[in-house]
Amino acid sequence: MKKHTTTKKPMSAVDVSVCTTIAVDLAKKVFQVAGEDAQGQLVYEQRIKSREAFQVFLQKLPTGVTVLMETGPGAQAWARMLQVQ
């Protein structure tokens, strides 16, 4: 996912529903989320500080959004949860 730094409005004002792709960096204490629109522009960034908040975030994602995660045991557990939705 390319990072583009030119956006017209602040990323906090953009709703995740405009994203077609979501990339997630899974860390021990923080989940870093970035989203691109259909043109490949970075339109959403958020740092989520708890597992519970991250789970709520994933449950609220619209259908059809592609979620990219790293590989590993932690990512596999989150991927299974997403596949059930």
Here the CATH number for the domain that contains residue 76 is 3.30.720.90
Look at residue 40 in the predicted model and tell me its pLDDT: 92
Establish if 69 belongs to a structural domain: yes
Establish if 19 belongs to a structural domain: yes
Establish if 6 belongs to a structural domain: no
Burial class (CB in 10 A: 0-12, 13-18, 19+), 22: buried
Establish if 17 belongs to a structural domain: yes
Could you list the residue range(s) of the whole structural domain that residue 33 is in?
11-84
Look at residue 83 in the predicted model and tell me its pLDDT: 81
What is the per-residue pLDDT across 33-78, written as a single tens digit (0 to 9) for each?
Answer: 999 999 999 999 999 999 999 999 988 888 889 999 988 887 888 8
| 85 vs 65 pLDDT, higher one | 65
pLDDT score of 7 more than 60:
no
- Number of domains the chain contains: 1
Establish if 2 belongs to a structural domain: no
pLDDT score of 8 more than 80:
no
Establish if 15 belongs to a structural domain: yes
Burial class (CB in 10 A: 0-12, 13-18, 19+), 55: middle
